[in-house]
Chains A and B, each alone.
Chain A
Amino acid sequence: MSYITNIFTGFWSVLAGMVVTLKYMFRKPVTEVYPRVKKPMFPRFKGPTSFVVDEKTGDHRCISCELCVKICPSLCITLEKERGEDKKFHLKEYKVDYTLCSLCSLCIEVCPTDALTHAKDYEIPALSQSEMINDFLKPFREKQKTSQPVAP
């Protein structure tokens, strides 16, 4: 007897399952049409690190203390500095190798002037490894170039 009831329950459960999938078929898809619609990232999203632009000066806040270089577990930050005429260190070069960075945000936590932050950029594929060594000072240099002709 259980043989026949087994067959019936099996058949019935198949039908029930198919009704469920049919219902799902007429629901709205949950897909985000990604490259056409770009969703803003969450506030705590950890993108690649970058310099904070200071609102007052329009420059970066780095004081070349090298704390980030020392704490980085992946050894991905290279920093070069030079002593200016005012006996203060000036940042000459600041590069992060994204091939190594694991976005642990230790450099951000340790920074005394809050000069670093996570960018919200996430479309970062590259065709070669050299493209992934990011020069942090590049946007600031470009800004200087564009602003120089304006200044007397």
Chain B
Amino acid sequence: MKRTVSLLFIAALAALLLYVVANMPPMGDPANPTATHVIPRYLENAEEETHTENVITGIILNYRGYDTMGEVTVIFCALAAVLAVLGRERRGAIEGFVDRSEVVSSTIVRTMVRFMVPFILLFSLYTIFHGESSPGGGFQGGAIIGGSMIVFTTIFGLAESSRRVPQRIRAALEGAAVMGFFLVGALGLLGGGEFLTYAWPKVAPGLQPSLVVWLTILVEVGIGLGGAMVLTSILFAMIREEEIATAS
């Protein structure tokens, strides 16, 4: 019964959606509302206004910086939520953690991982720093660092991995990333602009272009490292085989 109702609901929704798609503007047409309304300004002026060659980065960090602030908060919130659900990690508990599966990973894989992790890290740094001129940016770089942490953790074990990236450092970077974003936003406030203006229009107009560039890079690095650490912490929290104290 319930199943039939759900299937009917889905079928109705599918029909509705297909009906809409049949009536939507043709894809890829330059005369579409999406291509004519807000976009031209971004494409024409992004380079002068935001000093980024990659228009997407310009939008993310400048035109819609508030969304990105929300995004960073979402990551932070996810971490807080996962730790709230699975229980916080006790200081120094993981470092003494013993892998219960008793499977030592293969020497070949270990050597290869040793060999590749530096490359992955450097590549992610490249992604973070070159977000304004090529595809990439803070969060992408962070996710790639997260990937390197994943492979390192699965191969070398949680204890080793968390010795290399201890909780202190993770917590500090996570907090600093979000906080940095807020403070950079407030900096614009102090300079007489609006929140998230990466400049001081009233105080030092001459400083503006270089200030924008530097603050953009700062924010990118913050997002990258913070995001990477959050992903790492979430991974650690999920791998950790520590029974949590449930209280009611």
Indicate whether A and B interact: no
